[in-house]
Amino acid sequence: MSGAAWAGLRVGLLGGSFNPAHDGHRAISLDALRALRLDWVWWLVTPQNPLKGAIDMAPFARRLGRARQQARHPKILVTDLESRLGTRITATTLRALRRRFPRTRFVWLLGADNLAQLPRWRAWTEVFELTAIAVFRRPPWTLPALAGQAALRYRRRRVRDCAPAALARRTPPAWTLLRNRLSFTSATALRHASAAERPRRRPAPPRPEQVRQLVEQALDADQATDVVVIDLKGKSSIADYMVVASGRSARHVGAMAEKVRERLKQAGVAGIELEGLPQCDWVLLDAGDVIVHLFRPDVRAFYNLEKMWGIVRTAPGMPGAFDPGTGAQGDDEL
């Protein structure tokens, strides 16, 4: 690969063991090509991931061949560059690529699960300093990753939703979170599947609007109070909808959270994350494109989460609340 041939091009780098390559890798690559306006995506199939054992690792040649079969796109190039360069550590690979392709604009493509564990990588801060980074949502890792050490350390260098296409032109450190299509395919699950290494075909998961409706139905059935739905499309990359509701007590909040989770699981929603149990003052349910916040009334009044999204009305029944239905001021009992 001649450095001159790639001069001025924007190239996304997707590294990993690809053990095996699957449709999730391809979906991320296609989303990156479109959202970041890349010219190419290179898959860097590593001979050996330093964070993974070699016991379950398929031979390098087999993983490379499977990746080339899976890519199936003229702008996705499967490479053995790390084998040729003799590198295993991401920071070392990036330094070598910058020397070999000094005029190529690279963007490192990173799943949210890897952003969460990035501080475990050797020389991980160099990864941020050497190239721009695009992070892809991957349930249930997205929220923990955004609250993790790496995201917090470089929070001031995050490129917000309005300009991900300009990421390749940014001087590192610079990173963004992309609104990619969610994939629940697991390389581990594929390795333990049938001899054909193909999982059973599953029905398509519900669309975000359907998930929101399921949440509202579950909350209505469990007598949640003051349910507020906030449309986040075009406002945030975290989700399409946020649902906020109150329960009468901590026990009621916990019961609502469990029933919402159960209803979504039955509908085929995978990767649901639940936080805030067993205290149940504030329970967060992350269903990918829909995030649900369930509060005790006094905790909800204290945090006033709706105000952060431009909703100034306080919930009926909270201190000083204004009920738009009756025009009456709420009492002070919680």
pLDDT digits (tens, 9 = 90+) for 251-275: 999 999 999 999 999 998 888 888 8
- With a cut of 50, say whether residue 319 has pLDDT above it: no
Q: What is the pLDDT of residue 307?
A: 82
Q: And the tokens for 161?
A: 């939703």
DSSP 186: -
Q: What is the pLDDT of residue 310?
A: 74
The percentage of residues in the chain with a pLDDT greater than 70, rounded to a whole number, is 83
Q: And the tokens for 301?
A: 């009044």
The DSSP line for 76-116 is: EEEE-HHHHHT--SHHHHHHHHHHHSTT-EEEEEEEHHHHH
Question: Burial code of 189-216, b = ≥16 C-beta within 10 A, e = fewer?
Answer: ebeeeeeeeeeeeeeebbebeebbbbbb
DSSP 285: E
Q: What is the pLDDT of residue 51?
A: 55
Q: What is the mean pLDDT of the chain?
A: 83
Q: How are strands ordered across the β-sheet holding 105-111?
A: 76-79, 40-45, 10-16, 105-111, 132-136, 175-178
* Residues β-bridged to residue 178: 136
Place of tokens 């075009």: 234
Q: What is the pLDDT of residue 229?
A: 93
Q: What is the pLDDT of residue 317?
A: 44
- Higher pLDDT: 155 or 315? It is 155
Q: Which domains are seen in the chain, by residue range? A: 4-191 (3.40.50.620), 208-309 (3.30.460.10)
Q: Are 269 and 318 in contact (CB under 8 A)?
A: no
Q: Are 316 and 300 in contact (CB under 8 A)?
A: no
Average pLDDT value for residue range 124-143? 91
Q: What is the pLDDT of residue 191?
A: 42
Q: Which of 44-53, 86-95, 161-170, 217-226 has the lowest mean pLDDT?
A: 44-53
Using CB atoms within 10 Å of the CB of residue 41, give its burial: 0 to 12 exposed, 13 to 18 middle, 19+ buried.
buried
The SS3 assignment for 69 reads: helix
The SS3 assignment for 283 reads: strand
- The dihedral through the CA atoms of 311, 317, 320, 321 has a sign that is positive
Q: What is the pLDDT of residue 316?
A: 46
